[in-house]
Structure 1
Amino acid sequence: MSAPVIHRTSAGQRSWSTIIALLRGVGSLMLIIAIIGVLWVGLLQVFDVSDYVGKNPADVWEYLFTTPEAAEHRADIASLLAVTLRDAAVGFVAGLLAASALATAVVTSRVVEAGVMPIALILRSVPLIALAPIIILLVGRGVGVVATMGGIVVLFPALVTIVFGLRSVTDQMRDVVFVYGGSNLDVLLKVAIPSALPAVFSAIRISVPGAFTGALLAEWLATGEGIGYAVVSAANRSQNTRVWALVVVVTIASLLLYMVAQLVERIVLDRFAMAAGTA
């Protein structure tokens, strides 16, 4: 058995596949939003939450679109969302780059694996709120704390997923590379990384909601900016409709970016379909 080979599909097939993937993504997003809406209303009714605390979708819609101050509310939340998107992007990139580098080191060295995996597990196990004071002391309250907190949330699941993908190389594939004079580096670059492409995209999809979680925690605990801090501030002032609106907006943004990552994955994997071939 030889190394995976890349089969290019025709332009027409790629276009049709992209349209299908886009329609599926939109349909999935609408279904998820509908399910969340039903659960939202249902749980408020089941637990008999007071109207003062528990706001339903109609209340949030009114807050964002129909009240006289709706335009002001949307502009305010949009500015907060922009900050949170920036912070999530910083954590996403930091965590994914760290996971990719560490995964490469782990699959090439047992010594590195023995040192890295326990540390990554510890970072995953310790509540971030407990680590926040130490992180703030070390890196301050700027972009460093955002990158660190977001990176910690993203790191472990992405690391495990990418390591699994890189280790999908079979002994037969490795032997073929060695027979043709290749090295361990050639195995990594020409076989392991292409084979790990689906796992890398899985790590990206997993990392999107994780990056938002890290950003919200960093904003709440350290930076005092973005939606993470605004939710806490609004809750302390009993601005409950604002709290629900902020949560709804950031949830929809996370879902949209997850769907975008899923669509890009489908396009790339359809464009460069990985298949095992025979030499």
Structure 2
Amino acid sequence: MSSILLAEAGAARPSPVAVRRIRLPLGLVLPPALFVAVLIILWAVLSATGTIPRYILPAPDAILAEFVKNHAVLTKHALFTTGEALAGFLIGNTAAVLMAILFSYSRLMRDAFYPFALISRAIPIVAFTPLLVLVLGRGLPPVIAVVSIAVYFPAFLNMMRGLASADVDCHEMLHTLSATRWQRLKIVDIPASMPYLFAALKVSASAAFICALVAEWIGANTGLGYLVVISGQYFKLPTLWAAIIVAAALTLLLLAAVVTAERLLHRWTAAPAEL
């Protein structure tokens, strides 16, 4: 009887691992939420006392009123920027993965072009925006091109490192089993490259909206970047800061989507030490 009661008590009491899993999301969310709350309170106090001039940083209630009053305008420009950033994010990263796989097939191409890919990291891609505007015209094409180029190189270089990190012993075993190059790529190389690829995707997620905004300053007539420039020229600072906050929120959403995908694919994206 006592053994049955003990068994029931053990079944009713969650394991330490289960407790950690339940508390983990709260532990991740609570500290940043408290920090943001304290930051907003400090911001409101400094603005109310005049320590920070309102022509530099409006009060939180002024920005909140801007969200309420001009939500349609903010939504319109946010949708435009989101489309540009996501299109560039998908195009650049897809091209990077395909080119890395192609280079893994051809040693000649890798030796010929890989050094230029390394050198390209030192080139400020946004500086070429005026040239892209001249070639592609104003609007979507130059902005998408800037975002695609900006996210391409981190993904390409990390994907190349990931493909090169594949286990040699696994390759030899598959070679003895007469596996084709494609089969070795699918079974060994691509899974080995996933942690490197997702590390690059996190960087690209942060860079996509930033590059889209900067490109819109020069080559677009709509979008959050365009709204920031116009609002600054007419000293509409609540609108300017509202656009900046929306852009930051969209960046965090894209980054959260990448992190969620990485966790859902943990079996393939985890480093060997984590398995």
TM score, norm. by length of structure 2: 0.77
Match of 2:251 in 1: 254
Q: Does residue 240 of structure 1 match 2:246?
A: no
Tell me which of 242, 260, 263 is aligned to 1:263. 260
Q: CA deviation at 1:154?
A: 0.6
CA shift digits 1:184-236 (9 cap, x unpaired) = 33221211112222222222222111111221122222122100111011111
Q: Does structure 2 retain, via aligned residues, the 8 Å contact 1:129–1:221?
A: no
Structure 2 segments unaligned to the other structure (5+ residues): 1-18
Q: CA deviation at 1:88?
A: 0.5
Q: Does residue 125 of structure 1 match 2:122?
A: yes
Match of 1:214 in 2: 211
Q: Does residue 50 of structure 1 match 2:53?
A: yes
Q: CA deviation at 1:101?
A: 1.5
Match of 2:195 in 1: 198
State the distance in 2 between where 1:31 and 1:110 align.
52
Match of 1:67 in 2: none
State the distance in 2 between where 1:206 and 1:229 align.
24
Q: For the structure 1 residues 273 and 216, does the alpha-carbon distance in structure 2 shift closer, same or farther, using more than 3 Å as the test?
A: closer
Q: Does structure 2 retain, via aligned residues, the 8 Å contact 1:165–1:197?
A: yes
Q: For the structure 1 residues 51 and 143, does the alpha-carbon distance in structure 2 shift closer, same or farther, using more than 3 Å as the test?
A: closer
Tell me which of 23, 28, 33 is aligned to 1:30. 33
Of the structure 1 ranges 22-31 and 232-241, higher mean CA displacement relative to structure 2 is found in 22-31
Structure 1 segments unaligned to the other structure (5+ residues): 1-15, 65-69
Q: Does structure 1 retain, via aligned residues, the 8 Å contact 2:143–2:215?
A: yes
Q: Does structure 1 retain, via aligned residues, the 8 Å contact 2:191–2:268?
A: no
Match of 2:96 in 1: 99
Across the aligned residues of Structure 1 and Structure 2, the Cα RMSD in angstroms comes to: 3.3
TM score, norm. by length of structure 1: 0.76
State the distance in 1 between where 2:162 and 2:234 align.
47
Tell me which of 136, 140, 143 is aligned to 1:143. 140
Higher relative CO (Cα under 8 Å, sequence separation at least 6) belongs to 1
Q: For the structure 1 residues 270 and 185, does the alpha-carbon distance in structure 2 shift closer, same or farther, using more than 3 Å as the test?
A: closer
Q: Does residue 86 of structure 1 match 2:83?
A: yes
Equivalent pairs counted in the alignment come to 253
State the distance in 1 between where 2:93 and 2:72 align.
31
Which structure has the greater CA radius of gyration? 2
State the distance in 1 between where 2:184 and 2:235 align.
58
Tell me which of 153, 158, 176 is aligned to 1:156. 153
State the distance in 1 between where 2:145 and 2:122 align.
15
CA shift digits 1:144-183 (9 cap, x unpaired) = 3122100111112112222222222121111011010013
